[in-house]
Amino acid sequence: MSKAFIAAVLQDSLACTGVAAGKAADDLVGAIVAELKQEGGFTLPSFGTFTVHKTKARKALNPRTGEPVKVKAGKTVRFKASPVLKKAV
């Protein structure tokens, strides 16, 4: 799914212009990102939960050369589907 797909669905649903639907899709994604940054999680009822998890620093291998590379600690987003979504799929 892409922002263009979300914008197209919004445009069809709301009978608005493509520009307005694109702006609404951008605002929706921006609001989700802001909530993840501020709260560390975001729940969309009957869809699922997005949570931010910290990753530890680790060693990895460069696939081309095979030499070891250090990977810094960071953050990643995990998703857990709701039971309603699991049942629908």
Taking each helix axis from N to C end, the angle separating 3-14 and 18-39, rounded to the nearest 10 degrees, works out to 120
Check if the beta carbon of residue 52 is closer than 8 Å to that of residue 77: yes
| pLDDT tens track for 41-81 | 999 999 999 999 999 999 999 999 999 999 999 999 999 99
What's the mean pLDDT when you consider all of the chain?
Answer: 93
Closest CA to 10 of 87, 23, 30, 56: 23
pTM over 0.85: no
DSSP annotation of 86: H
